[in-house]
Structure 1
Amino acid sequence: MASKKKKSIFDFDPFEDMEEMIKRIQEEFDEIERQMMEMAKKGGGEVKTYGPYVYGFSITIGPDGKPVIEEFGNIKRMGNKPLISEEREPVVDVIEKDDEIRVVAEMPGVDKNNIKVNVDGNTLIIQAQSENKKYYKEVELPAPVDENSAKANYKNGVLEVVLKKVKKSSGKEIKVE
């Protein structure tokens, strides 16, 4: 009988361990779902299916070197309870360059004719609706923009909005009389 070799701390494989952890979590979710369905059926209750539920987050490093965490999806936190909305919040990246701001939003499954983009001051509002998907996001822009310069493009489920920054005046000397 072959004996198992004891693992050394140097034999640690984070990806293998992560895959095992994800597998265990999925098995636990499946078991909870199975138990809930059984309870609903035994209680004579009607089994309703809701969803899809979408929740995620992205982490980026801001210009000051600090992490910026942004949540997306259709589940929001309200105190200790989740609030589920029909509208999903798309994943959005805001890229600021010298003279422009580029906003990129992932919104698969909608037609470009069903997308509405509005600029209101320093806020970009993105809305879209298809037969079975709704998106809504208010994006705070990092600088004032020229609303008339806005251009939007939608391709392969990705919306890209480019806005020119308002040029700051270099100032003007006022002669005192």
Structure 2
Amino acid sequence: MRGDDRDDPFGDIFDEIERMMNEMTGAGTVGDGSGFTSETHVDIYEEDDQVRLVADLPGVEKDAIELKCDGKTLTISAASPHREYDERIRLPARVDEHSASASFNNGVLEVTVDKVGDSAAIDVE
């Protein structure tokens, strides 16, 4: 076996580092060449009676954000000079879309919605 035929024990680590760097810089992604990827960073917190979402929307103006909720999915649409955001997020629990409240500060969107109670049991007679 020649030395260059052996598996590099660090090859997988370096490949993963390269993949993560490409993801952060947008290299190798389809887009407008601005260096932004198409994924939005969203954290979802399920609390006792609420679901809270925190999304990073850097460079977006408050007036450019559109939110829609159908009780199961939250849709975030927004645009900045560098990219467009269009994310559909499946919620971890059914929510009352009419209870939603949202705030936007320094590029961070926070949406809070109340959970809907469990489904009602139906008695069979």
The amino acid across from 1:51 in the alignment is: G
The amino acid across from 1:53 in the alignment is: G
1:133, distance to aligned residue in structure 2 (A): 2.7
Unaligned 5+ segments in structure 1 are 1-17, 26-49, 55-72, 75-88
Q: Does structure 2 retain, via aligned residues, the 8 Å contact 1:110–1:133?
A: no
- Aligned in 2, Cα 1:156/1:113: closer, same or farther, shift over 3 Å? same
Measure the CA separation in 2 of the matches of 1:90 and 1:127. 11
Match for residue 66 of structure 2 among 85, 102, 116: 116
1:52 corresponds to which residue?
34
Where does structure 1 differ by over 2 angstroms across 4 or more consecutive aligned residues? 130-133, 168-174
Q: Which has the larger radius of gyration?
A: 1
Measure the CA separation in 2 of the matches of 1:133 and 1:169. 40
1:131, distance to aligned residue in structure 2 (A): 3.0
SS for the counterpart of 2:63 is helix
1:97, distance to aligned residue in structure 2 (A): 0.6
Q: Which has the higher strand share?
A: 1
The amino acid across from 2:33 in the alignment is: G
Aligned length: 98
1:132, distance to aligned residue in structure 2 (A): 3.1
* TM-score, structure 2 normalization: 0.67
SS for the counterpart of 1:148 is strand
SS for the counterpart of 2:98 is strand
Unaligned 5+ segments in structure 2 are 1-13, 22-31
Q: Does structure 1 retain, via aligned residues, the 8 Å contact 2:43–2:53?
A: yes
SS for the counterpart of 2:111 is strand
Q: Does structure 1 retain, via aligned residues, the 8 Å contact 2:34–2:82?
A: no
1:156 corresponds to which residue?
106
The amino acid across from 1:93 in the alignment is: D
Measure the CA separation in 1 of the matches of 2:71 and 2:100. 13
Match for residue 97 of structure 1 among 20, 32, 47: 47
- 1:27-46 matches, within 5 Å, as none
Does 1 or 2 have the higher relative contact order (CA < 8 Å, sep 6+)?
2
1:167, distance to aligned residue in structure 2 (A): 1.8
Identity of paired residues, percent? 42
